[in-house]
């Protein structure tokens, strides 16, 4: 078992490594091996934070962390999710595994060729395409102008994230690609936003033109699809895994019925929003399309402060965000699905280039929602955006009534 297997445990090579090691999962669980606790952490962080990375930040190949325990935590985590037997939990777990994997892929892709050649714990884009049998379906679009920046994923509901600086369509880092229409339709969804609809794409010779970030978003969907495949599954009664994991499953079930934050602020005060959220709103108001990671972070924050999908749609009127994409994403993020997806932490947002730690606010709170809660609590006077909206609606209704009365007279 090597670091690459632990880093991408859904790869076929990782499954083969587990099989070749002939490790007994029932015995590991019965012995309460380190992989079991790591598996519990993996699922808990998936449900609450949208990541499966270790809270310690340690990772095989980058520290002395136990590579075998990290790899084996993946199949045990799948057992835990199966025992939860909850569709929302499966969906969120798969999404978190995919989001974490793609964060790692982006870091790998930014690694210099020379460093990658001597490192066994990094992957290239070609490796990822081959893993999902997309090598023949995806190719660089050599017709784009050299030096063009990487396009951003649309304003839809995938937490694909934004990349770093751009390169032209030459070399190892092209700005755009062509993906055959079949795989494109399988891996993407119109519900991600209007920009993903096939009718709005450049289609030629049976292939769809996508930016590099959009390709990574589609690959993230492929990872989530593979992780979710076969979940939940039945466990053999005679193995005793279910009984041995009962206490951990009970703890995870409680997470499914509890909010990450006991009470939302229940006030919409844009003047008190964290700098990163204000920056995203202003960017959208300039009619600049947000990346998938930016859109996800903003929607998770607005839902986290108690806004309904209708309120978010109204709040984002006259921005680059489309109403259909907002509704899909905000409905996915609400508690009605069984679990809450809180906003990403400031550290995660910083990795995506969204949070810049203005005024050293990470010392105040570790995530946007907690920061906002503290600003609301400390404010002498708070003006709720919803109150102003209700006043406008009342004024419009009274004006309509007066017009009707005048007409009748």
Half-sphere exposure for 108 (CA within 13 Å, toward CB): 23
Half-sphere exposure for 336 (CA within 13 Å, toward CB): 10
Question: CA–CA separation, 294 vs 155, rounded Å?
Answer: 8
| C-alpha dihedral sign at 267, 334, 275, 264 | positive
* 8 A C-beta contact, residue 311 and residue 386: yes
Provide long-range contacts, Cβ within 8 A and 24+ apart, for 370-378: 370/261, 371/274, 371/346, 372/265, 372/272, 372/273, 372/274, 372/277, 372/301, 372/305, 373/261, 373/265, 375/272, 375/274, 376/265, 376/267, 376/269, 376/272
Domain-by-domain residue ranges, the chain?
Answer: 1-85+232-258, 121-230, 270-388
**Residue of 158, 127, 205, 81 lying closest to 325 (CA atoms):** 158
Q: Which pLDDT score is estimated for 144?
A: 53
The counts of H helices and E strands in the chain are: 19, 4
User: Which residues face 177 on adjacent strands?
Assistant: 140, 210
Listed in sequence order, the residues at least 6 apart from 138 whose beta carbon sits closer than 8 Å to its beta carbon are: 129, 177, 178, 179, 180, 183, 215
What size, in residues, is the chain?
Answer: 409
Structure tokens at 300: 């998770």
Residue 12, CA distances (Å) to 6, 18, 330, 393 in order: 12, 10, 34, 57
Structure tokens at 11: 């790869």
- DSSP class of residue 397 equals H
Query: Which stretches does DSSP call E strand in 112-261?
Result: 138-140, 176-180, 203-204, 207-211
Q: What is the pTM of this model?
A: 0.64
Question: CA–CA separation, 271 vs 372, rounded Å?
Answer: 10
Tens of each residue's pLDDT in the chain, 409 residues:
788 999 999 999 999 999 998 889 999 999 999 999 999 999 998 887 788 998 877 777 666 558 889 999 999 999 999 999 888 889 889 999 999 999 999 989 987 655 555 555 789 999 999 999 999 999 999 875 543 333 333 333 333 333 333 334 444 578 999 999 999 999 998 778 788 889 999 999 999 999 999 999 999 999 999 999 999 998 887 778 999 999 999 888 877 654 444 456 778 999 999 999 999 999 999 999 998 788 888 998 998 888 989 999 999 999 999 998 898 788 777 655 444 556 777 887 888 888 888 878 787 787 888 889 889 989 988 889 998 776 554 445 444 455 555 555 5
């Amino acid at each position: 078992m090597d670091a690459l297997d632990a880093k991408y445990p859904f790869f076929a090579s990782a499954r083969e490594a587990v099989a070749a090691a002939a490790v007994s999962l029932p015995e590991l669980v019965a012995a309460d091996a380190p992989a079991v606790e790591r598996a519990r952490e993996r699922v808990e962080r998936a449900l609450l934070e949208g990541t499966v990375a270790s809270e310690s930040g340690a990772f095989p190949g980058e520290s002395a962390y136990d590579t075998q325990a990290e790899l084996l935590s993946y199949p045990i985590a799948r057992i835990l999710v199966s025992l939860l037997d909850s569709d929302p939990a499966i969906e969120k777990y798969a999404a978190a595994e995919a989001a974490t994997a793609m964060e790692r892929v982006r870091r790998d892709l930014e690694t210099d060729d020379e460093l990658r050649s001597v490192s066994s714990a990094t992957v290239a884009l070609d490796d990822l395409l081959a893993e999902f049998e997309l090598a023949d379906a995806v190719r660089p679009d050599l017709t784009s102008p050299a030096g063009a920046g990487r396009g951003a994923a649309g304003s839809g509901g995938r937490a694909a994230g934004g990349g770093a600086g751009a390169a032209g369509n030459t070399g190892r880092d092209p700005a755009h690609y062509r993906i055959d229409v079949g795989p494109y339709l399988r891996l993407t969804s119109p519900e991600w936003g209007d920009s993903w609809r096939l009718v709005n794409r450049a289609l030629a010779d049976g292939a769809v033109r996508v930016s590099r970030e959009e390709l990574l978003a589609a690959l993230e969907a492929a990872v989530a699809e593979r992780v979710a495949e076969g979940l939940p599954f039945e466990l053999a009664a005679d193995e005793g895994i279910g009984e041995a994991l009962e206490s951990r499953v009970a703890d995870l079930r409680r997470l499914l019925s509890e909010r990450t934050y006991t009470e939302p602020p229940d006030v919409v005060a844009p003047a008190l929003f964290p700098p990163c959220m204000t920056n995203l709103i202003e960017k959208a108001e300039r009619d600049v399309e947000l990346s998938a990671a930016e859109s996800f972070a903003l929607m998770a924050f607005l839902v986290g402060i108690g806004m309904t999908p209708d309120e978010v749609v109204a709040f984002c009127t006259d921005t680059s965000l489309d109403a259909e994409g907002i509704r899909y994403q905000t409905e996915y993020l609400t508690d009605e699905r069984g679990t809450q997806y809180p906003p990403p932490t400031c550290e995660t947002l910083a990795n995506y280039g969204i949070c810049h730690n203005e005024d050293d606010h990470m010392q105040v709170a570790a995530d946007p929602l907690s920061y906002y809660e503290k600003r609301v609590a400390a404010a002498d006077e708070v003006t709720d955006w919803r109150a102003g909206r209700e006043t406008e609606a009342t004024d419009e209704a009274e004006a309509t009534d007066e017009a009707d009365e005048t007409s009748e007279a």
